[in-house]
């Protein structure tokens, strides 16, 4: 499947509004071979200085295809569940500038 997972994008857009984090969706990234690939999203403030790419499991994109962190999300991620998103964002780690969101620290 090479088409974007619109349900995944919608769930993460809802999460970004609810939790107040930055999301670029869809996002064009350049893979290691120099090809531009449209992905479901990019979280500029999580996962390190390059941010975290988010991709649907159906896309069949391999880990390591890009020079930045990427998470391949299961179909369950198509439904926004606040706790699961927060848990994932905590795992990836805050790398944004400014104050870390209170919900990220467990407050």
- Do residues 53 and 70 make contact, with C-beta atoms less than 8 angstroms apart? yes
Peptide bond into 26 cis (omega under 30): yes
> In the chain, how many domains are there?
1
Residue 83 sits in which domain range?
6-105
51 within a domain of the structure (yes/no): yes
Beta strands in the chain (DSSP E): 27-30, 36-39, 41-43, 52-56, 70-73
- Do residues 26 and 4 make contact, with C-beta atoms less than 8 angstroms apart? yes
Decide the pairing of beta strands 52-56 and 70-73: parallel
1 within a domain of the structure (yes/no): no
Q: What does the alpha-carbon distance between residue 84 and residue 76 come to, in Å, rounded to a whole number?
A: 10
Average pLDDT, the chain: 93
Counting Cα atoms < 13 Å in the Cβ hemisphere of 7 gives 10
13 within a domain of the structure (yes/no): yes
| pLDDT, average across residues 39-57 | 95
pTM: 0.91
Beta strands in 3-89 (DSSP E): 27-30, 36-39, 41-43, 52-56, 70-73
pLDDT single digits (tens) 56-88: 999 888 888 999 999 999 999 999 999 999 999
| Residue 46, strand partner residues | 94
């Amino acid at each position: 499947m090479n088409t974007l997972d619109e349900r995944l994008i919608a769930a993460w857009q809802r999460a970004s509004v609810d939790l107040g984090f930055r999301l670029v969706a869809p996002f064009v990234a350049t893979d290691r071979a120099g090809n531009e690939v449209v992905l479901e999203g990019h979280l500029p403030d999580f996962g390190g200085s390059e941010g975290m790419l988010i991709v649907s499991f159906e896309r069949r994109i391999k880990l390591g295809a890009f020079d930045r962190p990427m998470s391949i999300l299961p179909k369950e991620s198509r439904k926004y569940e606040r706790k699961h998103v927060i848990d994932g964002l905590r795992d990836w780690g805050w790398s944004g500038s400014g104050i870390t969101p209170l919900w990220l620290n467990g407050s």
